[in-house]
Amino acid sequence: MNPYILFIGTIFIIILSWFISVKHGRYHGIPRFFVFESILILVLLNADMWFVSPLSPLQIASWILLAVSGWAAVSGFLLLKRLGKPDENFENTSRLVKSGLYRYIRHPLYFSLFLLASGIILKDPAKLQLLLGIITTVCVYLTARMEEGEMLAKFGDEYREYMRESKMFIPFIL
């Protein structure tokens, strides 16, 4: 693992976390920092394994998870941008988005981060990678719970009803 890339990546994640969330009083950016940091470490740990045995079942499963992660992230961002009517910060929407992927799950962007980490872990699953996966999962959950508190404060009963109509991460299940 290259310590310089880890250092520069960590500084970049800290700056993004500050300017996108924490600076605006959206403290879900703190556990989300640990999500991004864990994913960065996973990428650095597994960098040599991305294209080894490309047709093995783990690699195929990994690429499927990474593709679905990318789709969920792009879809979620586009819906927030188009329907959420954010100000200069894409997180600061003025309307609650409840269509598209958001019709089924409240946190498609966090779900995409979970899938991203899972796909990276499958590149070379080992004890440290699995531990980082657990950290990522716990921090994704904490981030979503904190953001839901922020959304309840912002949108009130409309968000409470949305919580009853949709699942947190996995459609129809969780």
Q: What is the pLDDT of residue 171?
A: 81
Q: Report d(CA 53, CA 80) in Å as an integer.
A: 37
Q: Please tell me whether the overall predicted TM-score, pTM, comes out greater than 0.75 for this model.
A: yes
Fill in the DSSP letter of residue 169.
S
Other CB atoms within a 10 A radius of the CB of residue 21 amount to 23
Asked whether residue 88 carries a pLDDT value surpassing 80, the answer given is: no
Residue in this structure with the two tokens 């796909």, named with its chain if needed? 119
- Residue 172 pLDDT > 80: no
Query: What average pLDDT score do residues 102-122 get?
Result: 96
pLDDT at 116 over 70: yes
Per-residue CA distances from 12 to 9, 135, 156 (Å): 5, 20, 33
Note whether 45 and 37 are within 8 A (CB): no
92: pLDDT confidence band, cut at 50, 70 and 90? Answer: confident
Domain ranges for the chain: 3-165
Give pLDDT, residue 174. Answer: 64
On whether the CB atoms of residues 151 and 159 are closer than 8 A, the answer is yes
Q: Considering the chain, what percentage of its residues have pLDDT values greater than 70?
A: 99
pLDDT of 102 higher than 70: yes
pLDDT at 173 over 80: no
Q: Return the pLDDT at 2.
A: 86
C-alpha to C-alpha distance for 134 and 74, rounded to whole angstroms: 24
Poorest-confidence range of 36-45, 78-87, 106-115?
Answer: 78-87
Contacts of 18 (CB under 8 A, 6+ apart): 29
Q: H or E stretch including 157?
A: helix 157-165
Give pLDDT, residue 87.
76
Note the pLDDT tens digit of each residue in 46-74.
999 988 888 999 999 999 999 999 999 99
Query: Are the beta carbons of 145 and 83 closer than 8 angstroms?
Result: no
Q: Which amino acid is at 107?
A: H
d(CA 18, CA 24): 8
| Structure confidence at residue 144 (pLDDT) | 95
Contacts of 131 (CB under 8 A, 6+ apart): none
